[in-house]
Chains A and B, each alone.
Chain A
Amino acid sequence: MVRRLHSLPGLIFGLILLVLASTGAILALAPILDRVQAPAATSQSVADLAALAVAENPGLTKLHRSPNGVISASVKAKLFFQMVTIDPATGKARGPAGAGGFLDWVKELHRSFFLDQTGHGIAGVSAGVMLAMALSGLVLLAAALGGWRRMGQRVRATGARGLHAKVARLAVVGLFASALTGGYMSLVTFGFINDGSMVEAAFPATVATGSALPVDQLAALQAVPLTDLRDLTFPAAGDPTDAFLLQTSTGEGYVDQVSGQMVNWMAYGTARQVWEMMYKLHTGQGLWMVGLVLGLSALSVPLLSATGTAIWWARRRAMPRLRHNARASVADLVILVGSEGGTTWGYAAAVSDALHKHGLRVHVADMNDLGAYPQAGGLIVMTSTYGDGVAPANATRFLDRLAQSESPLPVAILAFGDRMFASFCGYGDQVQAALDAAGWPRFLPMARVDRQSAADFNAWVQDLGTLLGLTLTPDLQIQRPKTTKLELVARHDYGVQVQAPTTVLTFQAQRPAGWRGVFFRGPAFEAGDLLGLMPPGSDVPRLYSLASSRRDGFVEIAVRKMPGGLCSGWLHEMGVGTQIDAFIRPNPAFRPQARGPVILIAAGTGVGPMVGFLRAMRKGRGAELYFGARDPASDYLYDQVLADAVAQGRLSRLTTAFSRVKDRAYVQDRLRTDAAHLATQIKRGGQVLVCGSIAMARAVAVEFEAALAPLGLTVAALRAEGRYLEDVY
């Protein structure tokens, strides 16, 4: 819902907002230019300036001072008004007033697109749209980061999504302020808000008789310092019944030509003061620093619209077409989808099509569309989780609708998530609990799919097929990532003697032939990202953690040969010179923090990404590595690389544990010994990264719970802050 509120207006108003923001950014320069040109403030009074100006400019009708200190005058010398800027020191005209043709043009484009009232209306509505987008964007960002209190956290998303979130977080306050003040000014223009400008000082009922005093002797004008002046309107030439109208920042009143006294002074009310403040905030008049901030924020809008459109387009493309969607009223089986980015729809479509092949009528819909299904024998809920256990975009109303539903069906939940998150499939758990509480029986236990694992998904589909007595062959239409050609340039084998054959494979991206090779830099990746490979005879990609980043100039993974493993077997047979197709899957959640201690814990091939991190580590950062293997003589992966890292100061502490030698030990044993040291590092803001098998990660977590207990901390608390990261398999 919020997402639609964010993307739809963005797409419709994109171009208009682009114009408003770009022109706004240019106009933000005006107060700065004024400030450069404006004369230094003096102790002049309004009377002093008026006398100088009137002597130098015959036909002067009005003096105006902008909040930036620029003084302009309306002069009607012979015929017609002219506006000039005035040098307050001499009263002489410097030249025509106004910021100049270009800025005036930009200002008119910004205010009304040269469409007069219609344009003012469009600009006003656009301000409202911008306000709605700033607010909905904040809600989305908070949900993605896991709550309002975590707004300052690092944005994990990459690509267009990451850029959009990072830039928007910086600019949102400025954009919000611009939109709010702009919207206010528009409401004033259309008379929906009173700005107090309709209340005016009353014209004096009587004026003093006699000859008019010289301007510099008018007491009421002598009493006002020039810095307070807004407008001074001169009496009509030769009209003894007219008076000066003086308007300052605080009020207005008439000044008698003869007595020089203030008559009918009227102080401005709250409405007028609010207008003044809003006007200054929006234009930066008199607040050039604010103007600069708002202008810089406005500059983000082109980038935000471009990335926003890209995100919307990617989400649309990820949405598969449902070929045989049955109506809800006749469906034999219903699949409800909870999806944030659209990926889950691909799985739902595959299941739907597989069931359709057996003649079943399947209805697929958003979770928010939960309704009555008179013919259905069962309900399947396939849902992802957004951020920290939050409902995805099209499932936000599901629990409410469930509470109102009176016809329970047998139900099966397939939850999609990322084991790296504190609440893995957290929303799926909530839905299962709610369904249990409402008395909907389960026809299959709840199942989880980790990071779009095809294996997890296929296992669940097999269970479903067994239950229904059908052979289901889902055809997953998940978009295959773009692959790059890699050539194996080196391999180092370890661990054969200890029954743990492991190989470190080093690839190099192949430069395309011809002109496309000139700017070729290879795929972008960081250590800890995943390399996706497809072994021959399989179309399910296998993922391996990368032990290098693009800066290293090579692509490296560590692979343990699994008994009967199709992919690991293929890789272990691979000879130097072999070319393969591979893709990068970013894993931004698993990265060392930029500052503070880093504790790396790995066993076996889990050392791969740690080595990658250490390759890019700054000297003297104080990184520590705990590494567990079987025998230093056989499967001590990267022994030379790690020794170099220590020698060069990129790794300050290396602790190893070997399990097949005398004094056997596992990595968790070393952690237990070092519990006090680990607690100190955590207290100093340290971060823990664990990579290895699930069993090893569990044992490590147990040791950390014990080490953290004296600090009153838990692993879960560190996880929530992104200070305890796991990449396990």
Chain B
Amino acid sequence: MYRTTTALALSMAALAPITADANPVTIDVTIAQYQGPAVYLAMYLTDKSGAYQSTVWVAGGSTRYWKHLRTWFDATGGQGADGVTGASVGAGRTLTITPDISAAMIDAGYVLHIDAAAENIGESPNEIQVPLTTAGAGQPIAGNGFITSFQYGL
């Protein structure tokens, strides 16, 4: 028991510097029911001037297909982004992620964008476009292409 507590305390101490300025934001995205391949999603942030800041998450690992996430792909200069990718999301499924978004970005004019696209079906650029605010947290929004429900929690 004694040992476990020490180990826990040590690991908590190691995590401390990260938790200080990074907020674990929870994001849930639910995809519509349709027949066909899974959806690729790109979530990224723009600042109050509308300039691209960073990529939050990319669902779908085949880089060949990333060009169909059009506004994101163009914003990254045709590069995409590494290190923040997971699996594409099947029809009717919900994707839940907890990316680290700095506390300084909340209520500071930062906007979260989601591009969605699925092979042979179509592209839905900027399907979600929502300012990150304390008031907006926990408010579900619907898209109009693939996303039936989106919300973030702080």
Interface residues of A (CB under 8 A from B): 61-62, 64, 72, 74, 76, 79-83, 96-98, 101, 104, 116-117, 120, 188-189, 191, 195, 197-198, 200, 233
B75 at the A interface (CB under 8 A): no
A61 to B122, CA, bound (A): 8
Closest chain B CB from A691 CB (angstroms) = 66
Known pairs A72-B120, A97-B35 / 9 extra A-B pairs, C-beta < 8 Å: A74-B121, A74-B122, A76-B122, A81-B146, A83-B34, A97-B36, A188-B64, A191-B64, A198-B67
A79 to B141, CA, bound (A): 13
Per-position contact with A for B131-154: 1 when CB-CB < 8 Å, else 0?
Answer: 000000000001011101000000
User: Which partner residue on chain A sits nearest B123 by CB separation?
Assistant: A233
Of B61, B120, B145, the residue contacting A117 (CB under 8 A) is B61
**A72, A76, A80 — most chain B CB neighbours (10 Å):** A80
Closest chain B CB from A68 CB (angstroms) = 14
Which residues from chain A contact B118 at a C-beta distance below 8 Å? 81
Of B61, B64, B87, B145, the residue contacting A81 (CB under 8 A) is B145
Q: Which 5 A-B pairs have the closest CB atoms?
A: A117-B61, A80-B32, A116-B87, A74-B122, A96-B35
B63 at the A interface (CB under 8 A): yes
Q: Are A117 and B62 in contact (CB under 8 A)?
A: yes
A271 to B145, CA, bound (A): 32
Q: Are A79 and B34 in contact (CB under 8 A)?
A: no
Per-position contact with A for B59-85: 1 when CB-CB < 8 Å, else 0?
Answer: 001111001000000000000000000
A62 to B87, CA, bound (A): 25
Name 5 A/B residue pairs within 8 A (Cβ), A-sorted.
Answer: A79-B144, A80-B144, A81-B124, A83-B121, A98-B35
Q: Are B36 and A120 in contact (CB under 8 A)?
A: no
Q: Are A80 and B34 in contact (CB under 8 A)?
A: yes
Interface residues of B (CB under 8 A from A): 32, 34-36, 61-64, 67, 87-88, 118, 120-122, 124, 142, 144-146, 148
Q: Are B64 and A116 in contact (CB under 8 A)?
A: no
Looking at chain A's contact residues, the main secondary structure is mixed
User: Which partner residue on chain B sits nearest A84 by CB separation?
Assistant: B35
Given A116-B88, A117-B61, A81 and B148 touching (CB < 8 A)?
no
A430 to B148, CA, bound (A): 76
Closest chain B CB from A205 CB (angstroms) = 16
Which residues from chain A contact B35 at a C-beta distance below 8 Å? 82-83, 96-98, 101, 104
Which residues from chain B contact A81 at a C-beta distance below 8 Å? 32, 34, 118, 121-122, 124, 145-146
Which residues from chain B contact A189 at a C-beta distance below 8 Å? 62, 64
Q: Are B122 and A116 in contact (CB under 8 A)?
A: no
Of B64, B124, B144, the residue contacting A197 (CB under 8 A) is B64
Q: Are B36 and A98 in contact (CB under 8 A)?
A: yes
Closest chain A CB from B90 CB (angstroms) = 9
Which residues from chain B contact A83 at a C-beta distance below 8 Å? 34-36, 120-121
Q: Are B120 and A76 in contact (CB under 8 A)?
A: no
Closest chain B CB from A676 CB (angstroms) = 72
A233 to B88, CA, bound (A): 23
A615 to B67, CA, bound (A): 73
Q: Are A64 and B120 in contact (CB under 8 A)?
A: yes
Closest chain B CB from A115 CB (angstroms) = 9
Which residues from chain A contact B148 at a C-beta distance below 8 Å? 79-80
Closest chain B CB from A283 CB (angstroms) = 14
User: Which partner residue on chain B sits nearest A111 by CB separation?
Assistant: B37
A79 to B88, CA, bound (A): 21
Closest chain B CB from A119 CB (angstroms) = 10
Which residues from chain B contact A96 at a C-beta distance below 8 Å? 35
User: Which partner residue on chain B sits nearest A236 by CB separation?
Assistant: B125
Closest chain A CB from B80 CB (angstroms) = 11
Which residues from chain A contact B64 at a C-beta distance below 8 Å? 188-189, 191, 195, 197-198
A197 to B64, CA, bound (A): 8
Which residues from chain B contact A188 at a C-beta distance below 8 Å? 64
Which residues from chain A contact B124 at a C-beta distance below 8 Å? 81
Closest chain B CB from A414 CB (angstroms) = 59
Q: Are B121 and A62 in contact (CB under 8 A)?
A: yes
A62 to B124, CA, bound (A): 12
Of B34, B87, B142, B144, the residue contacting A82 (CB under 8 A) is B34
Which residues from chain B contact A117 at a C-beta distance below 8 Å? 61-62, 87
Closest chain A CB from B97 CB (angstroms) = 15
Closest chain B CB from A397 CB (angstroms) = 43
Which residues from chain B contact A74 at a C-beta distance below 8 Å? 120-122
Closest chain B CB from A232 CB (angstroms) = 12
Which residues from chain B contact A233 at a C-beta distance below 8 Å? 122
Which residues from chain A contact B61 at a C-beta distance below 8 Å? 116-117, 120
User: Which partner residue on chain A sits nearest B87 by CB separation?
Assistant: A116
Which residues from chain B contact A120 at a C-beta distance below 8 Å? 61-62
Which residues from chain A contact B144 at a C-beta distance below 8 Å? 76, 79-80
A198 to B73, CA, bound (A): 12
Closest chain B CB from A553 CB (angstroms) = 61
Closest chain B CB from A184 CB (angstroms) = 13
Which residues from chain A contact B32 at a C-beta distance below 8 Å? 79-81
A83 to B118, CA, bound (A): 11
Which residues from chain B contact A191 at a C-beta distance below 8 Å? 63-64
A82 to B32, CA, bound (A): 10
A79 to B124, CA, bound (A): 12
A578 to B122, CA, bound (A): 83
A83 to B87, CA, bound (A): 22
Closest chain B CB from A581 CB (angstroms) = 63
User: Which partner residue on chain A sits nearest B122 by CB separation?
Assistant: A74
A81 to B36, CA, bound (A): 10
User: Which partner residue on chain A sits nearest B63 by CB separation?
Assistant: A191
Given A72-B120, A117-B61, A79 and B142 touching (CB < 8 A)?
yes
Which residues from chain A contact B87 at a C-beta distance below 8 Å? 116-117
A104 to B35, CA, bound (A): 9
Which residues from chain B contact A61 at a C-beta distance below 8 Å? 122
User: Which partner residue on chain A sits nearest B147 by CB separation?
Assistant: A80
Closest chain A CB from B92 CB (angstroms) = 11
A386 to B46, CA, bound (A): 70
Which residues from chain B contact A72 at a C-beta distance below 8 Å? 120
Closest chain B CB from A78 CB (angstroms) = 9
A81 to B119, CA, bound (A): 12
Which residues from chain A contact B34 at a C-beta distance below 8 Å? 80-83
User: Which partner residue on chain B sits nearest A119 by CB separation?
Assistant: B87
**B64, B142, B148 — most chain A CB neighbours (10 Å):** B64
Q: Are B36 and A80 in contact (CB under 8 A)?
A: no
A538 to B80, CA, bound (A): 79
Closest chain B CB from A395 CB (angstroms) = 47
Which residues from chain B contact A200 at a C-beta distance below 8 Å? 67
Which residues from chain A contact B122 at a C-beta distance below 8 Å? 61-62, 74, 76, 81, 233
A79 to B31, CA, bound (A): 12
